[in-house]
Structure 1
Amino acid sequence: MKRSACLIFNPVAGQGDSEQDLVQIRAILEPEIDLDIYITTEEIGADKLAYAAVERGVDEIIASGGDGTLSAAAAAVINTEIPLGIISRGTANAFATALGIPDTIDAACETILQGTTKNVDVAYCNDLPMVLLVGVGFEAETVEKADREAKKRFGIMAYVLAGLQQLRELESFDVEIETEDRIIKTSAVAVTVANAAPPTSVLAQGPAGLIYDDGLLDLTIVAPVTKAGAIAATYHLFQTASSGNPAERDDIGYLRAKQFKITTEPPQKVVLDGEIIGNTPIEVKCVPAGLKVFVPMVEEEVPTEKLEGLPNLTIEFKDTVEE
């Protein structure tokens, strides 16, 4: 008996020919999977289609589009036993890369056909589902500048160009980070909380080797005081991501926790899985093993923690009571 799945397809994702992409996906999957195909529109997004599929009692959901589409579809299957298949066709394809899923259509389809699943962590940020990361400050401003038109035209370079533009307006802010057991105060130009992130998400790479199934979130603080320092810190994070070694600069800090409450002065823009959602404050909570995904097995290294060297740093430990 053939498997069955709901395929949610975003026709405006990426730079390729979406009609041909869909033909290719169907040619690979339909010999083995009965596909119930739904196309996203401006009025009906991947989240609504995925929730409706869950209500119908589907066996599997396959999402094809950019990171926003994948994140929206994933929201519907958090804490269910319905596995999610991922066929990335976006600009960054960060979610697939972070989980080791191929970003070519044929290889991604083969991953789904193999049928191997893994339970991975997800999170909620201000009650919104998060599969990748939430960025405060510099990253949010950069994403806002890299509009859809630029991404269509320049692809991943749209983010690079937007980042260079944002460097001209670089401003630091005061930030308070509260975990289960302490309150950390410092200043920064960017704070990123990651559930999963590929090496290209450099502002999340303080610890390097992020683990997406450990029940914890990874927070990176980037706190250069000059534009030259910002460039140097970003390059250092790129190196740590490439080498798998944690950051060592004094203007970069990182830690891990189950949840974070982040407030800033002044308020900062917030980007969640590639979409601007508003301003700080935010609360981010991990949902351990909350999502079942068709994903190849990958090995990860456990990151550590480093906070010393950050400007104006104070740490207040909270009294904790065992229940």
Structure 2
Amino acid sequence: MVKRLNMTRSAVLIFNPVAGQNDPDQDLAQIREILEPDIDLEILLTTPEVDAGTLAGEALARGVETVIVSGGDGTISAAAAALVGTNIPLGVISRGTANAFAAALGIPNTIQAACETILGGVTQTIDAAYCNGKPMVLLAGVGFEAETVEKADREAKNRFGMLAYILAGVQQLREFERFEAEIETEDKIITVTAAAVTVANIAPPTSILAQGPAGLVVDDGFLDVTVVAPINVAGAIAASYHLLQSALAGNAAERDDIGYLRTRKVKISTEPPQKVVLDGELIGTTPIEVECVPGGLTLIVPLVEEAQPSEKLSGLSGLKIESKAPSESEEV
């Protein structure tokens, strides 16, 4: 559900000073320059000891009415997770490497445009989820994706940006391994030999291992599970490329080694145990249980005017158009 935002005159800004590749002092100064004429900002900085989720939780306890978060996907997801089920609007200013959260929701990824969205946008209620009791906004990845995220460390991301994930993925392909997975939903139990299983709430096209279905709907009350099950490295490369191409085109995957399903909750067990990444952060190993929280998160998103249907009548056989005088009820 989308509605106009009644922006409060004050908000908490949670800012990660080590996110991205730009000068954080300049980034913060730019944010303040744009927002502070209209919003009284309380600025909180994350530290290695205190993450965005903790800061957002403390702000909620103080009765904050709006939270704004600026950083990478990990920072944004942590703050968002703290707001699940609260109806407190969250504004997003992405400054990370992948910026998957913003991309998935159509939120601009420049500071200027993101701040303008916060000042003039609308709120949208989307689904969230819980994975092993931890709030989930984007997705949980089992297997290949988790291994790739682990290899793309902070130093590599600072040096190479988005290329760090690509390099990590190439490196992980050299160590390609499959595993036995049991996927239990509300109405079935599936066993399969896979290389990756992804449970997505929302995900941009670049999160290719989540892109089995034709499109991930952010407020449908369902999770989308994608299973990638190639038999060798060549198949893994081909499957990944197909997922990217089909996602960019808005089509569902059509390879025999890619499967997908929709469910409100799912349990995934593997043999041997596999690493799990939750919203970009490693959280341990399988098994996992994920359950959707319909309408669990409120976001500030850009105002998109609905397109008015156009009219086309020319070329119709026997076409005749006459002007009609307005009726008395239509006259002003």
TM-score (norm. length: structure 2): 0.88
Cross-structure match for 1:171 = 177
Gaps of 5+ in 1: 300-323
Q: What does residue 193 of structure 2 align with? A: 187
- Three-state SS of the structure 2 residue aligned to 1:248 is coil
Residues in 2 aligned to 1:162 and 1:121: alpha-carbon distance in whole angstroms? 30
Deviating 4+ runs (over 6 angstroms): none
Deviation at 1:250, TM superposition (A): 0.1
1:294 is aligned to 300
Summarize deviations over 1:204-261 as a string: whole Å, max 9, x none.
0000321111110000000000111100000000101110000000000000000110
Aligned-pair identity in percent equals 72
Q: Could you say what secondary structure the match of 1:220 adopts?
A: strand
Q: Is the 8 A contact 1:209 1:241 kept in 2?
A: yes
Cα offset, 1:298, TM superposition: 7.1
What one-letter code is carried by the residue in structure 1 that aligns with 2:188?
R
Match of 1:83 among 85, 89, 101: 89
1:297 Cα shift?
Answer: 5.9
Write the distance in 2 (CA, Å) between the matches of 1:54 and 1:63. Answer: 14
Partner of 2:60: 54
The answer for the alignment partner of 2:138 in structure 1 is 132
Q: Check the 8 A contact 1:77/1:291 in 2, yes or no.
A: yes
1:249 is matched with which residue: 255, 268, 275? Answer: 255
- Equivalence map 1:35-46=2 (5 Å): 35-46=41-52
Q: Which position in structure 2 is the counterpart of 1:94?
A: 100
Cα pair 2:68 2:92 within 8 Å, conserved: yes
The change in CA–CA distance for 1:262 and 1:297 in structure 2 (over 3 A counts) is farther
- Please state whether the residue corresponding to 1:79 is helix, strand or coil: coil
Partner of residue 266 from structure 1, selected from 269, 272, 284: 272
Q: Quick one: distance in 2 between partners of 1:3 and 1:76? A: 22
Q: C-alpha separation between the residues in 2 aligned to 1:192 and 1:14?
A: 26
The Cα offsets for residues 137-158 of structure 1, whole Å up to 9 and x where unpaired, read as 0000000000000000000000
Q: Is the 8 A contact 1:197 1:204 kept in 2?
A: yes
For structure 2, list consecutive stretches of 5 or more residues without a partner in the other structure: 1-6, 306-332
- Could you say if the C-alpha distance between residues 121 and 2 of structure 1 is closer, same or farther in structure 2, counting changes exceeding 3 Å? closer
When residues 82 and 134 of structure 1 are mapped into structure 2, their CA distance, relative to the original with a 3 A threshold, is: same
Whole-angstrom CA distance in 2 between matches of 1:98 and 1:79: 20
Shift of 1:2: 6.0
Instruction: Give the aligned residue type for 1:25.
Output: I
The answer to whether the aligner puts 1:10 opposite 2:36 as a matched pair is no
Q: Which residue of 2 aligns with 1:204?
A: 210
Check conservation: 2:82, 2:135, Cα contact below 8 A. no
Contact 2:182 2:269 in 1 (8 A): yes
1:279 aligns with 2:314: no
Residue 65 (1) aligns with residue 75 (2) = no
1:63–1:73: 8 Å Cα contact kept in structure 2? yes
CA separation in 2, counterparts of 1:298 and 1:275? 31
Counterpart of 2:257 in structure 1: which amino acid?
D
Which of these residues, 246, 269, 278, is aligned with residue 240 of structure 1? 246
User: How many angstroms apart in 1 are the aligned matches of 2:244 and 2:80?
Assistant: 28
TM-score (norm 1): 0.91
Residue in structure 2 matched with residue 317 of structure 1 by the alignment:
none
* Mapping of residues 106-145 of structure 1, within 5 Å: 106-145=112-151
Residue pair 2:223, 2:292 contacting (<8 A) in 1 also: yes
Displacement after TM superposition at 1:296 (Å):
2.7
Tell me which residue corresponds to 1:25. Answer: 31
Q: Distance in 2 between matches of 1:278 and 1:43?
A: 19
In structure 1, what is the Cα distance between the partners aligned to 2:185 and 2:178?
22
8 Å CA contact retained: 2:121, 2:303: no
2:169 paired with 1:158? no
